[in-house]
Structure 1
Amino acid sequence: MLIKHPKPAYRKWLKKGALVLFVVEGACFAGSYCLWYKANTQRDFRKYLRDNFPFLLEYYYKTGEILNSQNNIRHVDQAYWEQE
């Protein structure tokens, strides 16, 4: 006769924890992508970020400059906002 051994309780918690971690990570990635897309396509949203969250806008500009040295969105935005 086969003897069944119960699985340890920590395995159940470990699987649920990993699942929650993956779901939260996926949600954070989707949210950050949505914010990046909005900042990348809408100058008004970048102005909102400049007025309310300047550190986020600075991070956005620096990331763009690191990935593409030809990126001049910062200068175009500053010139546009100075004309307003």
Structure 2
Amino acid sequence: MKKEPKRTNFRSLLGTGIKAVLVLEGLGLVATYGLWNRMNNSQDFRLKVYTYCPPVLESYYLIGEMLGSLPTKKHDYDKWGVARDK
């Protein structure tokens, strides 16, 4: 008697897909928090981000302004000697 390979059904694939999406969402959340935390605590890291990817830093400043935090952008640009656009 031959053994038939086990068939995967739609529910099994759906469950696996949902688990994969949840794991990826979790990893994305952890990575985003890690980036925010590092930018929030290190002016030198913000300078690196300003050098290599200014839109990411501008998004950080925009969110900070929306939440009403300290004027981090002004302090950073004054220390770095960068002309502010506003």
Band the TM-score falls in, shorter-chain normalisation: 0.7 to 0.9
- Partners of 1:17 and 1:82 in 2: CA distance: 49
User: 2:70 aligns to what SS in structure 1?
Assistant: coil
Partner of 2:3: none
Question: How many residue pairs align between the two structures?
Answer: 75
Q: Which runs of no fewer than 5 residues in structure 1 stay unpaired?
A: 1-7
Q: Which runs of no fewer than 5 residues in structure 2 stay unpaired?
A: 1-7
What TM-score, normalized by structure 2, do the two folds share?
A: 0.83
Runs of 4+ that moved beyond 3 A:
none
Query: Given the alignment of the two structures, is residue 21 of structure 1 paired with residue 21 of structure 2, yes or no?
Result: yes
- Partners of 1:34 and 1:21 in 2: CA distance: 20
Name the structure where helix makes up a greater proportion of residues: 1
Partner of 1:81: 80
What TM-score, normalized by structure 1, do the two folds share?
A: 0.84
Identity of paired residues, percent? 31
Partner of 2:4: none
- Partners of 1:11 and 1:79 in 2: CA distance: 57
User: 1:71 aligns to what SS in structure 2?
Assistant: coil
